[in-house]
Structures are given as C-alpha cells and as structure tokens.
C-alpha cells in the first residue's frame, strides 16, 4: 500500500465520524431533559456501568462527572455479580451503556436495580432492547456507520456515546453554575491544576519572608537578604509594606551607601502588588513583562491602597517554575 494513502484513509474515517456525530441531536430530546433532572436530583452517587468498549466509555464519563463535582464511580457489571453490587444503594442512580442494549452481563444488574427500585438511565441504540425496556429514562442512540473498512469495529458508535456523556456533564455543570474555582478544587493536579493555581497557593509566607524594619541599616538588610536567599528585602513600617529593596538596588547603590544610611532613601516606595486570588499564570506574565523576579501578595482590601498595605506573602519566580506554571 502506498504510504501516501495513510492520510487519505485517516481523513475518510475522520470525515465519516464527524458526519455521524451530528446525529447526536436526535438524542437531545425530552428523555435527555429527564436524564439531566435525574442526575441533578440524585441524593447518592451516579454509577456508570457498561461491558467492553461501552464499559471503557462509561468509565471515562464517570471520571468526567467526578471532576465536575458529581459523585460518581464506574461499576463493571461482570464484577458486580461477585460482590460489587453491594456498592449500589437505593439513593444512587445507575447510567448503563450498551450500544446493542442486549448484553447478557447486564441482566443481573438490571434485576438488582429493579428489585431495590434504583433509578436507571439506559443508553442504547435499540428501542426494544433489554436495557431500555428496564430503564426509567431511555436515551436512544441513533444508528451510526462505523468508520473502519469492515463497518463492524466500534468507532463511530463509541464516539457518539462518549459525546452524549459529555453533553450530559456539560449541561449539568452549566445548570449548577460550575466555575473554574470549583474545577480547581476537584482537579488540583497536572497541567490543568497548575493552570488554575492562585497566587495564594504558591506564595512564600511566615518565617521564609525577607522582612526588615524601615529604620534598619544597609548591613542589616544585606544580612536578611543573604539568609532568605530570595534576592529581595521587604521593608515594613509598623507591620505595613513601606517598600522593597532588591539585590539590584544594592549593587547599584553599594558604592555610595554607608551602614548609617536609612533604607527609605533608596527603597522602591511603591512596589508592585497582586491580589492573592490572581491566577499564578497571570502573576508570571507580570513578572516577565516587568522583568522582575518577585511580587508582593496582598488581600482584596489592600490591593488599591496607597499606604498601610498589609503583606500576605510574596511570589518568587523560583516558586512558579517549581510548580510548572506557564
């Protein structure tokens, strides 16, 4: 086979799936609304189940629910026969995925759910299937063409099932007014978590802060700077920020300064400050723009004050790099 045909074959498969995925609109009907309401009003956990490829899709949809604050887990119907059924309670909601709807392994799970009156949302492509007959809410998937040469390998069918799950999740999080702050709570790790870090999450606080009183001399400022190893000294006047002295300030002024000269004569009197709730990525952008290595962190109340600014902490570029903030 000519290798140049690889791209053509891939494009053919992609175009077919894109065409088939448009059929999702057929599922966005009254049954979809009922399914959203069931999930929103669920007092327990949303349990996703499925066998084979449908099981893999169910596991992903369950993970999406969990990441947006909907308590959820995946349950393998085959494993459920050997004790896992005990995880399912009356207040829970079952969402069962099976493209054919007639997978034999689902039989006992359906019987268990009906016995204990556990609500079921069934997702299948056959209206007269075992699954949809046993379901309280029936989400009937449209018939789609698989994108492989045999027309049998689960491709378009798994894609449209996954899309339906994402439609449920995104509709629910919009209804619940889900925010970036809430997503940060449920997804603190990885690149997504790092992109949602706030200034207060990575700021340096407490005994690690290079603080000095405004009446101290240059020698004492140097001592603090060397101890804290951040290249700056924050000058305080009665616990309020009076200014900032950097190692660059000292290098430029060292020839003319003496130990008796007051810090207030050469400190930066209006150092840049940022809100503690500012995204860390934005703080990094400010540092890059201003070509500085540190920012003072303050509360909302002190952000626009001209004096008596109370320090919450500092962000150093080393911390941003350590957390992988970009």
Q: Are residues 92 and 118 in contact, defined by beta-carbon separation less than 8 angstroms?
A: yes
pLDDT by residue (tens digit) across 265-315? 778 888 888 888 888 888 899 989 988 888 999 888 877 777 788 888 898
Span 71-104, pLDDT tens digits? 888 988 887 665 567 678 889 999 999 999 988 8
pLDDT category of residue 157 using cuts at 50, 70 and 90: very high
Residue closest to 257 by CA, chosen among 217, 304, 216, 306: 217
Q: Among residues 200, 216, 215, which one has the least CA distance to residue 296?
A: 200
Query: What's the token pair of residue 17?
Result: 């799936």
- Would you tell me how many other CB atoms lie within 10 Å of the CB of residue 127? 10
**Residue 303 has what pLDDT?**
79
Cα angle 163, 168, 169 (rounded to 5 degrees) comes to 95
- What structural domains does the chain harbor? 5-178 (3.40.50.10490), 199-322 (3.10.580.10)
Structure tokens at 90: 């009356």
Confidence of residue 178 (pLDDT cuts 50, 70, 90): low
pTM of the model: 0.61
Work out whether strand 232-237 and strand 240-246 pair parallel, antiparallel, or are unpaired: antiparallel
């Amino acid at each position: 086979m000519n290798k140049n045909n690889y791209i053509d074959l891939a494009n053919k498969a992609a175009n077919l799936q894109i065409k088939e995925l448009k059929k999702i609109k057929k599922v966005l009907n009254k049954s979809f609304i009922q399914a959203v309401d069931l999930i929103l009003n669920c007092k327990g956990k949303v349990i996703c189940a499925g066998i084979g490829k449908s099981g893999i899709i169910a596991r992903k949809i369950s993970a999406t629910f969990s990441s947006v604050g909907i308590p959820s887990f995946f349950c393998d119907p085959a494993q459920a026969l050997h004790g896992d059924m005990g995880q399912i309670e009356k207040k829970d909601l079952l969402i069962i995925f099976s493209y054919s709807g007639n997978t034999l392994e689902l039989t006992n799970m359906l019987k268990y759910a009906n016995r204990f009156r556990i609500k079921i949302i069934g997702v299948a492509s056959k209206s007269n299937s075992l699954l949809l007959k046993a379901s309280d809410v029936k989400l009937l998937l449209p018939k789609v063409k698989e994108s492989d040469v045999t027309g049998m390998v689960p491709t378009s069918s798994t894609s449209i099932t996954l899309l339906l799950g994402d439609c449920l999740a995104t509709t629910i999080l919009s209804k619940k007014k889900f925010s970036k702050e809430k997503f940060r709570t449920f997804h603190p790790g990885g690149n997504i978590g790092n992109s949602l870090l706030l200034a207060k999450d990575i700021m340096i606080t407490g005994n690690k802060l290079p603080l000095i009183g405004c009446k101290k001399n240059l020698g004492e400022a140097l001592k603090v700077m060397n101890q804290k190893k951040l290249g700056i000294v924050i000058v305080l006047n009665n616990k309020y920020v009076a200014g900032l002295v950097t190692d660059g300030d000292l290098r430029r002024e060292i020839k003319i300064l003496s130990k008796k000269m007051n810090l207030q004569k050469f400190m930066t009197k209006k150092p840049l400050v940022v809100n503690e709730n500012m995204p860390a990525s934005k703080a990094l952008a400010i540092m890059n723009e201003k070509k500085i290595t540190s920012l003072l962190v303050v509360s909302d109340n002190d952000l626009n004050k001209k004096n008596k600014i109370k320090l919450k902490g500092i962000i150093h570029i080393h911390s941003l790099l350590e957390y992988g903030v970009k």
